[in-house]
A and B are shown apart, each in its own frame.
Chain A
């Protein structure tokens, strides 16, 4: 009679002692990995000059100011290139969670531009995991310079060029992201008769986060059939830069052999060589305004 009682008591005591660890292990067993899309693959919507996989989120508006300065090897007399600058201003907006639109104006050829970026597939963890994100970028550029030769027939269509680009990115881990961006630029009017209207190029980009708020970015574009792009001897743009994020601003500062900002300009019009020190300091500043505000909050389910 006594023995079973002591036995039961012993079991009860051990159960009470292990009760907390019991609940903890139950908790761990029931806490599943979150089923979410990869976010913050890059800090901004551009890696340096080319598009990154990032979009503006729904109802976020981005005001971007970009500058590229003159040659660093101009020396102190030119303040290392800072005496000259080329710029681009743009407003970019997230329509919903897969589509963003942007409009801009660059000093180069007084170009007006517009683009759309569409998320097609998104990297995802959890039960429906997918390894990469894929987006499409379509752009149009309009040269608004006065015609050089007013004696001949000039068509409006001659002012236009187009961009089609695929962005294929993977956030490898919290620090490292990589992106492959094959692209095609079509120019309605080219410089020489033998020049190709279409330029094909492959972009490679990546970032390494140095701290939570800064990252080192690299971007390279390999242009195919470069000698048939323009009369000038073309080079492939290579840029190295830093992103510094402070809340709703991102500062992107970099060095590049490309002195121009938009795709129609830096693909095919880059002539500087890293080996010769034909480098340019440049920066982008982005300021994001959240327009959705605080109203219509989704609230407590109880």
Chain B
């Protein structure tokens, strides 16, 4: 019976949404990815995210090309991942339809570089679905993404990142 429960405990989405926004006085650059794959195991709070860098779309075509070619280098590092867990998940009071603040800790991999991070997020438990939302800041330099001084004024040192996912039950 225990085994059976853990088999049904996985939630997932293949349409997770992540937006990245860089704001400088010169220009606002915004990209988004609507094809984020993510799994959440409600038995233990383990959570993983994965996406293809090539699935990012920008309003400005040239910015998109440079993002892929010059900065994240999709050819060399096609994917970004996060693997971690929601802290204290099993003791969480899961009141339905209420925003429940949580902390997520794990390893982020961007541009081939792994980094331990802790971010704040909220969860909303619904009927047969879980909504997760988080805002975090990513500093390209921490992932070995070098921005030349010539372009420095156009790309922010802190990229505001928003994650939004509606999880549904996963059948093995």
Contacts and interface: CB of A to CB of B under 8 A. Distances in A.
Interface of A: 8, 11-12, 15-16, 19-20, 22-24, 26-28, 30-31, 33-34, 36, 39-40, 57-58, 60, 173-174, 212-213, 245-248, 288, 290, 292, 294, 297-298, 300-302
Contacts of A173: 75
A245 B49 CA distance: 33
B83 A15 contact: no
A175 to B, nearest CB: 8
Contacts of A27: 37-39, 48-50, 81, 83
A241 B37 CA distance: 43
A247 B150 contact: yes
A209 to B, nearest CB: 9
Contacts of A58: 61
B20 interface: no
B143 interface: no
Given A16-B44, A33-B52, A246-B150, A39 B62 contact: no
Tier of interface size on chain B? 35 or more
Given A20-B83, A26-B10, A212-B69, A302 B164 contact: yes
A8 B35 CA distance: 38
B70 A213 contact: yes
B108 interface: no
Interface string B27-56: 110101011011101011011111110110
Contacts of A301: 17, 34, 164
Given A19-B44, A300-B19, A301-B34, A30 B12 contact: yes
Nearest to B61: A57
A192 to B, nearest CB: 46
A290 B29 CA distance: 12
Contact of A246 (B14, B68, B151, B162): B151
Contacts of B81: 27
A101 to B, nearest CB: 16
B59 A294 contact: yes
Contacts of A57: 61-62
Given A27-B81, A30-B37, A174-B75, A297 B46 contact: no
A31 B34 contact: no
A246 B70 CA distance: 10
Which 8 residue pairs spanning A and B have beta carbons closest together? A57-B61, A174-B75, A34-B54, A34-B52, A23-B48, A31-B50, A27-B50, A27-B48
B59 A247 contact: no
27 contacts: A8-B3, A11-B3, A12-B2, A15-B3, A23-B47, A27-B39, A27-B81, A30-B12, A30-B37, A30-B39, A31-B52, A31-B79, A39-B64, A39-B65, A60-B61, A173-B75, A212-B70, A212-B73, A246-B150, A248-B62, A290-B60, A290-B62, A294-B59, A297-B59, A298-B32, A302-B17, A302-B133
Given A34-B54, A292-B59, A19 B154 contact: no
Nearest to A296: B59
Nearest to B36: A31
Contact of A26 (B35, B39, B164): B39
